[in-house]
Amino acid sequence: MNRLLFDVTRLLESGLHTGIQRVVRCLLAACERQFAGQGYQVSAVTFAGEHWQTYAELAPHPCQGLGEHAQMPGQLIEPGDGDVLLMFDASWYGEPWQAVDAALARGARLVGMVHDLLPLEHPDWFREGLEQRFGDHLQHMARRAERLFVPTGAVQGRLQQMLERDGHTVPVAVLAHGGDFCNQHASAEQIAEYQGYLPAPASTDDPLYLVLGTLEPRKNHALILDAFDTLWTQGRTPRLLFVGKVGWQVDSLVERLQNHPLLGQRLFHAANLSDPALLWLIRNSTALVYVPRDEGFGLPVLEAAMQGCPVIASDILVLREAGRHWPYFVAPDNLPELIQALYTHVQHEPAPAFHRTWDDVAQKLGTFLNMASRAQ
């Protein structure tokens, strides 16, 4: 039986449940649903040295709202002929190439996902050393993979230019993300728990604006807070909720949040929420405000759109791909434009939201990999 082997090494080591980890978990689960009965075994794997381990089941993250589950130990395997290694995780934090080369020598295939090129294009937005680590990893991947995937056409064009400059010929295809991140509806008890530390749902007279994403430089949280500070100074009373863990290079923002006079009244910050809680918030917010300086895809835009939540988004190519005609677009560095959008977006009548599920993504991946013709 041929195997689709999803690398989850960094996912398990980090314990994170943010963008890349959610992509890996969602696509792994979708491939299990789509291909388990078509002659493929779909498994999570990790690398160490030249060895691989496979896991009968990937334990859910606590934030998925599925309860606490310990990850069961893996078993050694030797990927080889008929197997496909999918390196969609943040594997640049590890040293996968000894294990990858051993698998390729036995006949395995390798495909990778380049989520974005931002560590190379804007290294000042990230922790020191990431530019070199990420760049080296990309070069190794480009020399070994039979295909690279990217989430948007905007990233595709930039990556192709970079690869051509460096003499690589690996093809690059767009495999856009899905927006159905959670199928667990919050129970009455969970909603009561959320309301114990989160603001009340939005209403016409008491709007609530939601901001999703790790607190980091490129996400533009300070601009959003500037806009709401202006509204509050003018006597308006919208509520603003930042949801995301504290990242890097945001000391001044964190200090500003912690010392804000409206913290706990009009301004809120929460982290480590469960997926059902996020789904509840998206469905009970006036709008999602998502104005990063740049992105690889912008999952919150599609996820909010698929729930019918209005979106105010940066007018950048990747978010126009992710959101299509649903968001109200603003320039990511234009404070007056963002303030005006907060005044007027409720009257904006967006086109019907675009829907793409992770099962749709899995089916497209299967087409790219010619899985039907290779299944046995």
Same domain for 367 and 252: no
pTM of this prediction exceeds 0.75: yes
Query: Per-residue pLDDT averaged across 340-366, rounded?
Result: 84
Do 120 and 230 belong to one domain?
no
Residue 99 has which token pair?
Answer: 């294990």
- Answer yes or no: do 256 and 291 share one domain: yes
Q: Is the pLDDT of residue 185 over 80?
A: no
Task: Indicate if the pLDDT at residue 131 is higher than 80.
Answer: yes
Residue 20 resides in a domain: yes
Distances (CA, A) of 365 to 34, 47, 82, 87, 143: 11, 23, 16, 13, 21
- The string of pLDDT tens digits covering residues 25-48 is 999 999 999 998 788 899 999 999
149 with 28, same domain: the answer is yes
Could you tell me if 290 and 311 lie in one domain? yes
Token pair, residue 194, equals: 């959320």
Strand order across the beta sheet in which 109-113 lies: 75-77, 51-55, 40-48, 2-7, 84-87, 109-113, 147-150, 172-174
Instruction: Indicate whether 252 and 319 sit together in one domain.
Output: yes
Task: List the single range of 65-69, 126-130, 175-179, 260-264 with lowest mean pLDDT.
Answer: 65-69
Q: Which of 22, 36, 30 is nearest to 90 (CA)?
A: 22
pLDDT at 133: 97
Shared domain for 205 and 310, answered yes or no, is yes
Q: Round to whole Å and give the CA distance between 368 and 370.
A: 6
My answer on whether 163 and 234 are in the same domain is: no
User: Residue 308 sits in a domain of what CATH number?
Assistant: 3.40.50.2000
Residue 198 has pLDDT above 60, yes or no: yes
CA distances from 223 to 29, 133, 253, 290 (A): 36, 30, 10, 11
- Which are the contacts of 184, defined by CB distance < 8 A and separation ≥ 6? 64, 65, 66, 275, 276, 279
Distance CA(305)–CA(314), nearest Å, equals: 15
In the sheet with 208-212, reading across from the earlier edge strand, the strands are 267-270, 239-243, 208-212, 287-290, 311-314, 328-330
Q: CATH code at 113?
A: 3.40.50
Distances (CA, A) of 252 to 175, 212, 217, 267: 37, 19, 11, 16
Report the half-sphere exposure of 129 (CA within 13 A, side-chain side).
2
Query: What is the domain range of residue 32?
Result: 2-178+358-374
Q: Does residue 313 have a pLDDT over 60? A: yes
pLDDT digits (tens, 9 = 90+) for 254-268: 999 999 999 999 999
- Pick the more confident residue, 4 or 345: 4
Instruction: Report the DSSP beta bridge partners of residue 172.
Output: 148
Same domain, 164 and 201: no
Residue 218 sits in the same domain as residue 363? no
